[in-house]
Amino acid sequence: MNLQPDTEKAIVSDIDVPASRDEVWQAWTTAQGAESFFAPKCNIELRPGGAYEILFDLTAKAGQQGGEGMHVMAVQPPSMLSFTWNAPPHLPSVRGQMTRVIVRLTEVEPRQTRVTLRHDGWGEGGEWDAAHEYFKHAWAGVVLPRLKHRFTLGPIDWNNPPTL
C-alpha cells in the first residue's frame, strides 16, 4: 500500500472555549445551542442524514438564507460532528456543491474545551477560491469567536451581534 501525504486543500482553525465538552457539544448539535452563537435560526436533526441547516439571513428568499439543505454526515457524541456545507449566495456557481466540515471537541481541562474545525472538499479556481477565502475568515474570525463569546459573555444578540 502506498500512502500519499495529505495534500487536500483545507481550512483548519481552533479555539479554546471556557466550557465543558458536553456544553460545547450541545451548542453545536441542537437548534437552541446553535442559535446561541452560529445563526439566528437553525434546524438540526442529530443523526446521519439529518438536517444541519444554519440560517443567517431570515429576510432573504428561500434558498438564499444560508446553509439550507445541509446535512449531518457523522456523529460521535460528545467529540465529533461532521456536516455538509455550501458556499454563500453571492457565489452561485459553487453554491449548489457541497463541502465538508468536521468539528472535533477535546477536553483540555474540566471547564475548557478545544474546538478544532476542519473544512475541506474544495474545488479549484474561480468561485471555489473565493469561497475558500470567504470561509477562512468566517470560521476563524466570526463563528469560532462567537462560540467563545457565547460561553464568556452569553448568547449572541442577533439584533445587535458583537463585532469580534
CATH number of the domain to which 133 belongs: 3.30.530.20
> Is the peptide bond prior to 48 cis by the omega test (within 30 degrees of 0)?
no
Residue 148 lies in a domain: yes
Residue entry with cell 477562512: 136
**pLDDT tens digits, 31-57:** 999 999 999 999 999 999 999 999 999
In a domain, 121, yes or no: yes
In-domain check, residue 124:
yes
- Residue 5 confidence (pLDDT): 60
Domain contains 136: yes
What would the mean pLDDT of 49-71 be, rounded to a whole number? 96
Contacts of residue 116, defined as CB under 8 A and 6 or more positions apart, other chains included, come to 12, 13, 14, 103, 104, 106
Domain that holds residue 63: 10-152
Q: Could you tell me if residue 139 is inside a domain?
A: yes
Instruction: Name the pTM for this structure.
Output: 0.94
Q: Quote the percentage of the chain above a pLDDT of 70.
A: 96
Domain count of the chain? 1
77-87 tens-digit pLDDT? 999 999 999 99
67 domain residue, yes or no = yes
Phi and psi torsions of 116, nearest 5°? -115, 125
User: Considering the domain boundaries, does residue 21 fall inside one?
Assistant: yes
- Condensed to tens digits (0 to 9), the pLDDT of residues 124-163 reads 999 999 999 999 999 999 999 999 999 999 999 999 999 8
Intra-chain end-to-end CA distance of the chain, in Å? 46
The mean pLDDT of the chain is 95
Is residue 126 in a domain?
yes
